[in-house]
Structure formats: structure tokens, C-alpha cells
């Protein structure tokens, strides 16, 4: 049985995920709006406040909330995320006894009631009680207010003016006098992360394919020489396919063939050999010192290195010998290799998270992440996280970030939506998405609305990879160079974080017949490329990445509004900054086969312009300038010209 009946009710606090079970995600610098529904029975006034604590602080700050809509009892306040880490917050509320008294007293004064002595005495009593509960400067201010009210006891209208003044109401509202102070439980959390968690252009490569000499495997030194080219194109993150020793047992040949020769390099995802496991590097790539120099060179150019975290082993991995119980064994004693029907991976053993020795397995995997973090790696792309327990990820990410708060985890989980969302809730900073297979205007608008306008936007940060070593989508296979251009524009402007895999800039699209896989895949052989091969789209990539860096509107995700356009082969949308200082309109031709034209309607409020006025937009891809208004004609030719516009709305 409760000792006191409920008086003040606090409900529907936002932002929150599953009632506060998981943290909301934010970025350092964000101004987070906190809202709640707060009310009580009767007609008494309510005081509500946001109480929050910065990362590492045991002290909560108290910020009054503003009533947005009296009819809906909706309150709001804000907290600025100034430091990385978890911000804890809750909403507190109580009956505002003094403001409630002022409301009743005002009615009597306005009704010209002559006998209000009892009501005045009640008001003075409230101030006296508040003074007794206060200390320091607040007590002195209350004493001065009490003296002022007492001096006006024979002049009710004047007393009302003083009592209802903003300073008086503010002074009294922050003191709970009714014994009904209520605090929402549980406390909620917003996790503030660094900017790279939300914004960045990724480039994926295989170190062994970066050689400038045909026939010689690439090294970290070769990859370091390639950094200047990636920097010129404007990439922020260089993501490496696994760099660890590759096993010999079951090594795959070209195109995933079971037969291999001594010259075949094998799949980098078959991790582990006599040269070491997850905390070693493949000797043909160089040494750990060479890797350190590579990381340092990237950092000097303002880029970061991301590593692939593949939790699996080749049959030659030291763990197979040292910890045989970490692997699932059939009744005949053999270890089961990995499968994803119809694909078979005879060169890979999955780890068994149901092992009785799971605590040591978890700790060993954490040591892998911390080992590379100590070498300057702050981003990990995690391979197939949906095949490992969610509890493991919660523990790993939390404990790693306690030691290295700036570490970013990207979940490569092309799986069911509930699992993708569950991984994001449990700490993954970013997530792969279904963008790769969303091609039509309807598909894109529906998917982006799902990602930006639902609760998932509080925790699910997308990384729009246009292709991967595992996935060559049909649109790129069939659409050729025009499709590569349009998919680049879409990925880079729809999401503040996007990525491409090596060869995208060369429009490589040779596929295995009937499959979404590359023919002669780089996963099984070394590729020698001319990075300046005619027909490349490096200039477009450079231009798009420059626009992303210069236009703050393209560095946010949920700030998107799709625009009406009378041709389904074209898509148009506008993005903006919260302060309205930057607005960008993007138009993309979705059909790689030829030209399309249409009329786009841009509602004036979408670009913060008065009705029936014109304004100028500048194309950030070509430099051309156009006069636009509410209705605008566009023509885009994917074959002979650029497939889209990135239009900055020029200030008046």
C-alpha cells in the first residue's frame, strides 16, 4: 500500500527509448529538447523542472521547464551536450502552491470582493513557509517580498500586482511546499558522442591491393602512399578489410573455389595462422610498426583508420589449439565450419558463445579491441554482429568505451529490422542499412521516412554504403557509370554518413551471373588497379564530399523534407540547419538509362522564403546559378550529363 496518494503525474518523457531502458544518442554540441506531460487533479498550478547531470558529475543541475500547451499539459526544457559521455536526466514536478493562490486571489480581486483578508493571510503564510524552507540569498529575497506584501495588505489590487509579478512567481515556484514533489523514475540517459559518430565519408580498401607494382602484393607503405588520393577526394574514414594473418587450412582460391594454389592469398576473413591471431598483422602487409606509421599518416591528413572486427577464426588460429572449447564440435569431434546457405566457408570456424568458458572468451575479444585502440584505432566495423549474443555487445561496447570514450562501432548487420534495431539500442554507434536495395522514388521516400520520423531516429544511425565486397547491387550491375553517379549522390546527401568500397570510383560492376556478388572478387585475390583509369568518377566524388563538408545541412540526418515532383524517375528533397542559415535542395535522376524532366514544387516555407517570391540557388556540382520559386523546371540526363543537382539556397 502506498503511504500517500498520487498528486502530481509525470508521463511520456521524450526523448526516451523503451521507457529509459536504453540511452538516446546525441552528438557533442547538440541542444536536446526534453519534453514531458505533467499534471495533477484539480485546478492547482504545477511547477516542472529538468534535472540533469553531465558525464562524470554527481551533481544535478535544475532547469525550469516551460508549459507549451496548457490544454495538453506538455512541458519542455533543453540541455546542451557539451562533453562526450552519458548525460543523466529526469523530470521533477510539484504543486506550485503560491501560483495557485495567486490565481484564486486574482479572481476575488477582479470580482471586487471586499473581504479578502483571509485570502491575504493565506498568501502571506505561504511566503513565510517558503522563507523558513530557504537559505542564503533566496531567504533574503523572500523576506523582502514578505515585507512588501505585508505593507500592501490594505490595497488588494496593489498586493496582487506584486504577488503576480514574474520575479515573485519565479522565486516561489522553485520551492516545494505541498509535500508532493515527484521525480520520474528511472533516470534517463542521452549519450553524447563525437561528431564522427554522425558525420563522415568512408572508403573501404584491401591493403594488399594497394601496390603500385603489378604482381606485387600491397603493404602498409603502399596503402600509406594511397592516402593522399583518398584525402583529395574528401574521405574522413579509411576502412581496412581484415589485416591479420590468413590461415592456410581450407584456403579459398579465386571466386571462392575450394582449390587454391600456394600463390593464392586467401580470404582476409579467415583469420589466424602460425603468425598469430587477431592481435597480429599478416606478414606480407608489413609489421605492427608499419601499421602504426600508416595510422599516424592518416591522422596527419585529418583521416581516421577503421578496422574490421571479425569474430571468427581460421582452422590455424592459435585459439583453436589453445582454447578448443571455444568452438562448437560435432559428435565426431570435428569443428563445424561457418555456413550461410548456400554459401560455405570451409576456411572459417565460428566461435561458440555458448561455451562454458564464455567469460574468458568475452575477455579475450575485449582485449583485441583494446589492443588496437591503444594503437590509435578508434573505429571498428563489426562483421555479422547479429550472429553473436546481444548481451555480449552491451558488455563489450560499454566496457571499451569506459576506457576509450571516443571509440565508434559500426554494425554490419544486413538482417531483420528488430535485430538491427536491437544492436543499435545496445550501443552500436552506426548501422548498415537497406539503402543498398532501395532504388525507386517510393522505396527511398518510404525508407527515409521510416528512419528519420520514427523513434528509431533516437538510436539508429545509418551508414549508407553504396556497395561492399560482398554486395554488388543490381542497380550498379545494370546501370553502369550513370548508376554509380546517382547512387553516390543519394548516399552522400540522404545520410550524413556514407561509404563506398574500392573500385566504386572506377565503376567496377562485373558480377557473377544471377548473383549480387563481384566476379573475381577481391576477397579471394589481389586486385591491381589504375586509380586514374578513364571513365572514373573521382572528380564527382571530390565535389560531393566538398559540398558535404561546406554545407552544414548535409551533416544532419532527420532534417529532410521530400518535395513534390511530377516524374517518378526523379526525386527531390530539401535539408536545412536548425537556425535556418543553410538550406540545400537535392534533385537526383534515378533512371540511369537516359534523360528525364519534371516540375518540382518547393513550398516557400521549406526554404524559409515569403510566398510568391523568387530566390537564387547555386549548383554545388557545376557552379551554375538559377532563379527559383515555388514551381521549378528541371531536366537531368544521366547518360550525357550529371545525374543530379546539389543546390544551395542563396541568402537574400
Looking at the annotation, which residues are catalytic? 383, 412
Rounded to whole angstroms, the Cα distance separating 571 from 117 reads 70
Q: Are the C-beta atoms of residues 190 and 23 closer than 8 Å to each other?
A: yes
Q: Are the C-beta atoms of residues 235 and 204 closer than 8 Å to each other?
A: no
Angle CA 421–82–557, to nearest 5: 40
Rounded to whole angstroms, the Cα distance separating 285 from 218 reads 7
* Residue 397 CA from chain centroid, whole number: 15
Paired strand residues for 238: 203, 305
The residue with cell 548498415 is 432
Q: Are the C-beta atoms of residues 492 and 201 closer than 8 Å to each other?
A: yes
Of the candidates 105, 101, 90, which has an alpha carbon nearest to the alpha carbon of residue 181? 90
* Residue 166 CA from chain centroid, whole number: 41
Rounded to whole angstroms, the Cα distance separating 438 from 345 reads 29
* Residue 320 CA from chain centroid, whole number: 36
Q: Are the C-beta atoms of residues 295 and 374 closer than 8 Å to each other?
A: no
Can you tell me whether residue 319 is helix, strand or coil? helix
For residue 638, the surrounding DSSP H or E stretch is none
Q: Which residues contact 165 (CB under 8 A, 6 or more apart)?
A: none
Q: Are the C-beta atoms of residues 466 and 488 closer than 8 Å to each other?
A: yes
Strands in 41-72 per DSSP E: 46-53, 61-64, 66-69
Q: Are the C-beta atoms of residues 583 and 645 closer than 8 Å to each other?
A: no
Phi (first) and psi of residue 368, to 5 degrees: -60, -50
Paired strand residues for 571: 588
Rounded to whole angstroms, the Cα distance separating 403 from 407 reads 9
* Residue 196 CA from chain centroid, whole number: 9
Neighbour tally for 539: CB within 10 Å: 11
Q: Which residues contact 319 (CB under 8 A, 6 or more apart)?
A: 272, 277, 313, 326, 351, 364
Rounded to whole angstroms, the Cα distance separating 416 from 422 reads 10
Rounded to whole angstroms, the Cα distance separating 200 from 643 reads 23
Pairing of strands 304-309, 312-313: unpaired
Q: Provide the greatest CA pair distance for the chain.
A: 106
Q: Are the C-beta atoms of residues 580 and 597 closer than 8 Å to each other?
A: no
Rounded to whole angstroms, the Cα distance separating 524 from 266 reads 5
Torsion of CA 260, 264, 266, 268, to 10 degrees: 180
Angle CA 621–627–630, to nearest 5: 110
Q: Are the C-beta atoms of residues 222 and 527 closer than 8 Å to each other?
A: no
Neighbour tally for 554: CB within 10 Å: 26
Paired strand residues for 584: 575, 648
Amino acid at each position: 500500500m502506498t503511504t500517500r496518494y498520487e498528486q502530481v503525474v509525470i508521463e511520456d518523457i521524450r526523448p526516451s527509448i523503451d521507457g529509459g531502458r536504453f540511452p538516446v544518442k546525441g552528438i557533442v554540441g547538440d541542444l536536446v529538447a526534453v519534453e514531458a506531460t505533467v499534471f495533477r487533479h484539480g485546478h492547482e498550478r504545477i511547477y516542472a523542472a529538468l534535472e540533469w547531470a553531465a558525464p562524470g558529475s554527481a551533481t544535478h543541475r535544475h532547469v525550469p521547464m516551460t508549459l507549451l500547451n496548457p490544454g495538453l499539459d506538455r512541458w519542455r526544457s533543453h540541455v546542451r551536450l557539451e562533453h562526450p559521455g552519458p548525460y543523466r536526466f529526469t523530470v521533477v514536478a510539484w504543486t506550485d502552491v503560491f501560483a495557485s493562490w495567486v490565481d484564486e486571489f486574482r479572481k476575488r480581486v477582479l470580482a471586487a470582493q471586499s473581504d479578502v483578508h483571509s485570502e491575504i493571510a493565506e498568501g502571506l503564510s505561504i511566503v513565510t513557509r517558503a522563507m523558513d524552507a530557504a537559505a542564503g540569498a533566496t531567504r533574503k529575497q523572500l523576506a523582502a517580498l514578505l515585507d512588501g506584501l505585508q505593507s500592501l495588505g490594505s490595497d488588494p489590487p496593489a498586493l496582487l500586482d506584486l504577488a503576480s509579478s514574474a520575479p515573485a512567481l519565479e522565486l516561489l515556484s522553485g520551492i516545494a511546499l505541498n509535500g508532493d514533489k515527484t521525480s520520474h523514475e528511472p533516470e534517463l540517459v542521452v549519450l553524447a558522442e563525437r561528431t564522427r559518430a554522425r558525420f563522415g565519408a568512408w572508403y573501404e580498401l584491401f591493403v594488399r591491393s594497394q601496390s603500385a607494382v603489378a604482381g606485387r602484393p600491397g603493404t602498409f607503405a603502399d596503402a600509406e602512399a594511397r592516402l593522399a588520393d583518398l584525402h583529395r577526394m574528401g574521405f574522413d574514414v579509411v576502412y581496412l578489410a581484415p589485416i591479420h594473418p590468413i590461415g592456410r587450412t581450407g584456403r579459398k582460391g579465386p571466386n571462392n573455389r575450394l582449390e587454391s594454389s600456394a600463390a593464392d592469398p586467401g580470404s582476409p576473413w579467415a583469420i589466424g595462422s602460425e603468425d598469430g591471431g587477431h592481435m597480429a598483422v599478416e606478414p606480407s602487409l608489413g609489421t605492427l610498426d608499419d601499421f602504426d606509421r600508416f595510422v599516424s599518416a592518416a591522422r596527419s591528413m585529418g583521416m581516421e583508420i577503421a578496422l574490421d572486427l571479425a569474430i571468427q577464426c581460421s582452422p590455424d588460429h592459435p585459439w583453436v589449439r589453445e582454447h578448443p572449447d571455444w568452438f562448437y564440435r560435432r559428435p565426431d569431434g570435428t569443428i563445424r565450419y561457418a555456413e550461410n546457405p548456400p554459401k560455405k566457408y570451409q576456411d572459417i570456424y565460428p566461435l561458440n558463445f555458448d561455451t562454458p568458458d564464455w567469460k574468458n572468451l568475452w575477455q579475450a575479444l575485449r582485449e583485441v579491441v583494446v589492443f588496437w585502440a591503444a594503437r590509435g584505432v578508434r573505429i571498428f566495423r563489426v562483421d555479422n554482429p547479429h550472429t553473436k549474443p546481444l548481451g555480449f555487445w552491451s558488455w563489450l561496447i560499454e566496457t571499451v568505451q569506459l576506457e576509450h570514450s571516443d571509440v565508434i562501432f559500426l554494425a554490419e548487420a544486413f538482417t531483420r529490422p528488430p535485430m538491427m534495431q536491437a544492436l543499435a539500442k545496445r550501443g552500436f554507434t552506426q548501422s548498415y542499412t537497406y539503402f543498398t536495395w532501395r532504388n525507386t522514388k517510393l522505396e527511398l521516400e518510404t525508407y527515409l521516412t521510416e528512419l528519420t520520423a520514427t523513434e528509431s531516429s533516437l538510436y539508429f544511425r545509418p551508414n549508407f554504403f553504396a556497395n561492399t565486397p560482398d554486395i554488388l547491387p543490381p542497380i550498379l550491375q545494370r546501370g553502369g557509370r550513370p548508376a554509380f553517379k546517382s547512387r553516390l549522390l543519394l548516399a552522400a546527401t540522404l545520410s550524413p554518413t556514407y561509404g563506398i568500397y574500392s573500385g566504386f570510383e572506377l565503376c567496377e560492376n562485373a558480377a557473377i551471373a544471377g548473383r549480387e556478388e563481384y566476379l573475381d572478387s577481391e576477397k579471394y585475390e589481389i586486385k591491381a588497379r589504375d586509380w586514374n583509369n578513364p571513365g572514373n568518377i573521382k572528380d564527382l566524388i571530390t565535389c560531393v564530399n566538398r559540398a558535404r563538408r561546406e554545407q552544414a545541412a548535409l551533416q544532419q540526418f532527420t532534417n529532410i523534407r521530400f518535395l513534390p515532383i511530377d516524374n517518378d524517375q526523379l526525386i527531390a528533397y530539401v535539408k536545412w540547419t536548425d537556425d535556418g542559415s543553410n538550406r540545400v535542395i537535392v534533385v537526383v535522376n534515378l533512371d540511369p538509362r537516359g534523360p528525364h524532366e519534371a516540375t518540382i514544387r518547393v513550398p516557400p516555407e521549406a526554404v524559409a522564403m515569403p510566398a510568391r517570391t523568387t530566390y537564387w540557388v547555386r549548383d554545388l556540382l557545376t557552379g551554375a546559378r538559377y532563379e527559383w520559386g515555388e514551381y521549378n523546371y528541371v531536366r537531368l540526363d544521366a547518360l550525357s550529363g550529371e545525374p543530379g543537382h546539389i543546390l544551395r539556397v542563396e541568402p537574400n
